Amino acid sequence: MSENNSVGVVAPQTAHFSEPLALKSGQVLPQYDLVYETYGTLNADKSNAVLICHALSGNHHVAGKYSENDKYPGWWDNLIGPGKPLDTDRFFVIGLNNLGGCHGSSGPSSINPATGKQWGSSFPILTVEDWVSSQARLLDHLGITQLAAVIGGSLGGMQALQWTIAYADRVRHALIIASAPNLTAQNMAFNEVARQAIITDPEFHGGDYYEHGTVPRRGLRIARMLGHITYLSDDVMGEKFGRKIKDTIKYSFDVEFEMESYLRYQGDKFAGSFDANTYLRMTRALDYYDPALAFNGDLSKALSKAKAEFLVLSFTSDWRFSPARSREIVKALLDNESTVSYAEVTAAHGHDAFLMPDSHYHAILRSYLSNIQIGSNHAE
Amino acid sequence: MQNNVNITNFRQDFAIIANWVKFGSKVLDLGCGDGELLQFLRGSLEVKGYGVEKDDANVLACIQNGSNVIQMDLEDGLSGFEDQSFNTVILSQTLQAMHHTEAIVLDMLRVGQEVIVTFPNFGYWRNRIQITLGQMPVSKTLPYQWFDTPNVHLCTINDFDAFCKNHNIDILERKVITDGEEVNFIPNLLGCLAMYRLKTK
């Protein structure tokens, strides 16, 4: 059954952009590649496009598999496919790898055409705003003027929100899930510890480890372990691992508890597949995003130009992007008389809940998405 | 038969609320359920409506039928809504189930230029008879048994009139209905459902 509603075997594509991209930092990216995947078919009037914005460690491989024998599908495969909540029989879904990433789009590990060497530490620090600008260019490349919807969780939700601010006319619906209008000091503090773990790793070499033939694996591993703690709730960690002992207590610093085994496994897996320079930049994009800053902290003013309709979702046990933060977005939208619905999903899985196939959560997404009009009859 | 009476009553309730809501205005429906009233107002008066609802299934139903809904518990107050940001704030047959009854009415008056409150009149003669016979009233507006009722703050029309007086609340209009018909004679005895249009003095 699950095979029947998969988008099947997919392949990524690459778009090259030779027009320079002016970044918020003042730097300019002279040219760049964006790697992306699409699922479903773009309809005749191009009114059914949905953009998926990824979070910290995500990428363009959102749904489907790369081969029949591929062990794992894309990271949001439970949401996307024929007959799934984001129905690829109706929608044309686009996933991309953000700039600065490590899965094919231009990033620190890509070759800088100016030097012929890997960018390393010299790759610019990008912001959510920069990402959204580059995503808009990808839409231009695909001939899409307006998105039926932009969807994102966590850092992806920030991009979805930014879409409604920066390109108010180009997005009809924004689904902002487990996100926030900016990070709290505590949330940024976790990012700082993660970065310090990487930066102080002797193998980091100021970010130019490629040319030293090293990988700051230890730092990245610790950063990811810390991340995993914050993505789960106390309850779910208790339920999953509790105080369960791995074998017998050895009075050592080896793995004694199941929880340690899990964190080490997750850390090792990630450190072997992700780029530390990308991780640093993703956390910085999170830290810097604050659309209200230019409006004296007034989020309502920041969102006053938004024309999209909104669905804002949060999860009760998510303490890293708590429901209270989503309610701030909702309040600002209400102040602007935007069309908005907000649901607070009861879930045990903490921040990770947004990737879980909870039936109520998915029913909400399915209902909302099925009400989005596409084709020549959509009211605009 | 019972069901038909219910529907008539319900529509009469809606019809009166619709009369009190201005065309194209901004409406907040507290405890909006599955969004039925919002849909009715949207269709008939083109209001910009938002519902507030706690229950998961109702929130989902609202999203299904395209009503704006904000999932939250009314007991936490309306701090997410600015002063006087709605033309009308409605609390339809939910007042009696609120714990922070006083707080919600005052908060509604803060958020709305006008407030509509409806509740089952506990002073209705059928309720009084059941009390006289020595049992808690059970009826179509109070369909629960004493042990499973969500209603914690039942009141009579006289009680609510006094509440408004004590809190300096202006009663712009009051309508009392029984079986879909308006009741003007001894409403606190003969009225089943009380409907108020209120404003801060």
The C-alpha atoms of residue A162 and residue A245 are separated, in whole angstroms, by 45
Indicate the pairing of strand A21-22 with strand A13-17.
unpaired
Q: Are B52 and B43 in contact (CB under 8 A)?
A: no
Residue B118 CA to its chain's centroid (Å): 3
Place of tokens 């999953």: A240
Contact check, Cβ <8 Å, A342/B64: no
Mean pLDDT on A28-41? 98
Indicate the pairing of strand A86-87 with strand A80-81.
parallel
- Using a CB-CB cut-off of 8 Å, the residues of chain B touching A339 are 68
Residue A86 CA to its chain's centroid (Å): 17
pLDDT greater than 90 at residue A351:
yes
Q: Are B15 and B36 in contact (CB under 8 A)?
A: no
pLDDT greater than 90 at residue A4:
no
Place of tokens 């699922």: A39
Contact check, Cβ <8 Å, A344/B82: no
pLDDT of res. A83 = 97
B46 to chain A, any CB pair closer than 8 A? The answer is: no
The C-alpha atoms of residue B172 and residue B15 are separated, in whole angstroms, by 17
Indicate the pairing of strand B193-200 with strand B169-178.
antiparallel
Q: What is the DSSP letter of A249?
A: -
- Going from the C-alpha of A365 to that of each of A152, A174, A322, the distances in angstroms are 12, 12, 19
| Residue of chain A whose alpha carbon sits nearest to that of B80 | A331
| Residue of chain B whose alpha carbon sits nearest to that of A325 | B80
Indicate the pairing of strand A49-53 with strand A149-153.
parallel
pLDDT band at B12 (very low <50, low <70, confident <90, very high): confident
Residue A290 corresponds to which amino acid?
D
- Using a CB-CB cut-off of 8 Å, the residues of chain A touching B47 are none
CA dihedral sign of residues A155, A160, A164, A166: positive
pLDDT greater than 50 at residue A2:
no
Beta strands in chain A (DSSP E): 13-17, 21-22, 28-29, 32-39, 49-53, 80-81, 86-87, 92-96, 111-112, 117-118, 149-153, 173-177, 309-315, 340-345
pLDDT of res. A380 = 42
pLDDT in tens, A90-133: 999 999 999 999 999 999 999 999 999 999 999 999 999 999 99
Q: Are B119 and B93 in contact (CB under 8 A)?
A: yes
Contact check, Cβ <8 Å, A340/B85: no
Enumerate residues 6+ apart whose C-beta is below 8 A from A98: A53, A54, A105, A126, A131, A134, A282
- Using a CB-CB cut-off of 8 Å, the residues of chain A touching B26 are 337
Taking only residues 328 to 357 of chain A, the set having a beta carbon closer than 8 angstroms to any beta carbon of chain B reads 330-331, 334-335, 337, 339-344, 346
Closest by Cβ to A341, choosing from B56, B62, B80: B62
Give the closest residue to B98 by CA, choosing from B78, B125, B69.
B78
Closest by Cβ to B60, choosing from A330, A363, A371: A363
pLDDT greater than 90 at residue A50:
yes
Closest by Cβ to A337, choosing from B26, B60, B63: B26
pLDDT greater than 90 at residue A375:
no
pLDDT of res. B13 = 82
pLDDT greater than 70 at residue B95:
yes
Q: Are A212 and A202 in contact (CB under 8 A)?
A: no
A24 to chain B, any CB pair closer than 8 A? The answer is: no
DSSP string, B135-176: S----SSS-S-TTT------B-HHHHHHHHHHTTEEEEEEEE
Annotated catalytic residues of A are 154, 318, 351
| Residues in chain A, total | 380
- Going from the C-alpha of A145 to that of each of A20, A168, A380, the distances in angstroms are 21, 12, 13
Residue A117 corresponds to which amino acid?
K
Contact check, Cβ <8 Å, A340/B70: yes
Contact check, Cβ <8 Å, A364/B62: no
pLDDT of res. B140 = 85
Residue A82 corresponds to which amino acid?
P
Closest by Cβ to B69, choosing from A331, A335, A341: A341
Closest by Cβ to A341, choosing from B68, B81, B85: B68
Helix (H, G, I), strand (E, B) or coil at A189: helix
Mean pLDDT on A276-303? 98
Helix (H, G, I), strand (E, B) or coil at A177: strand
- Using a CB-CB cut-off of 8 Å, the residues of chain A touching B64 are 367, 371
Q: What is the DSSP letter of A80?
A: E
pTM (two decimals): 0.95
pLDDT of res. B8 = 46
Q: What is the mean pLDDT of chain A?
A: 96
pLDDT band at B9 (very low <50, low <70, confident <90, very high): very low
Structure tokens at A281: 């930049």
The C-alpha atoms of residue A272 and residue A74 are separated, in whole angstroms, by 18
pLDDT of res. B180 = 86
Contact check, Cβ <8 Å, A337/B48: yes
B86 to chain A, any CB pair closer than 8 A? The answer is: no
pLDDT of res. A47 = 97
Mean pLDDT on B57-77? 97
Residue B58 corresponds to which amino acid?
N
Place of tokens 């085994």: A261
Contact check, Cβ <8 Å, A343/B85: no
